[in-house]
Amino acid sequence: MSVDYRFSDGKRERLPELAAELVRLKVDLIVVTGVQSALAAKKATTTIPIVFASAPDPVGLGLVASLARPGGNVTGLSSLTPELNTKRLEILKEAVPKLARVGLLWTPAGGGGDIQLKERRPAAHALKLKLEEITTQPDPKGLESAFQAAKQRQVGAIMTSAGRRLFAERKRIVELAGKYRLPAIYYQKEFVDEGGLMSYGADFDD
């Protein structure tokens, strides 16, 4: 068996070109990480099997028809984010009884953050919580500015959207939550391993 690797080096505009290149090579299987990579591969071929490492909402993102019957040539692991968003908010409210305003830390440039934001709104409304969008770039300057904005907007706690870009910055995010004294709930236990307060989500080690 031979494996052909392709990397975008963080440049999303290259993903369609890289996916098309793999199709031209007539590979037997395409394995992708990240939502944008999965979408690019899906657009490039309807015949070569595609496996995504993880996606927060494969149905909402248009990767598969349903979780029970994906259909087409795409399959993979779902982190079941839509089903867990309400529970995360409930846990956060239990931990901070007087909580009224929650900040959702997300990167608008992709990764399904916009879908996650849309899904959280009804859950927040049902719990009588106001959801504040805290957009950020996943770098030191962007994250610092995001937490400053959260404090200025009187956010009482933080949630993070699921995605590899914020996951890669989990240590810095946890440190900033402590610096600005903001309780936070995360979508993966690795944030807690870095000192985060709590997490609720799929265990990818299993």
What are the chain's domains? 12-78 (3.40.50.2300), 81-199 (3.40.50.2300)
Is the whole model's pTM more than 0.75, yes or no?
no
Residue 27 · residue 1 · CB < 8 Å:
no
Q: pLDDT tens digits, the chain, 206 residues: what are they?
A: 899 999 988 788 999 999 999 999 999 999 998 888 999 999 999 999 999 987 777 887 889 988 778 889 999 987 666 668 888 999 999 999 999 999 999 887 655 556 667 778 888 998 999 999 999 998 999 999 999 999 999 999 999 987 778 889 999 999 999 999 999 999 889 999 999 999 998 776 65
Rounded distance between C-alpha atoms, residue 74 and residue 82, angstroms = 20
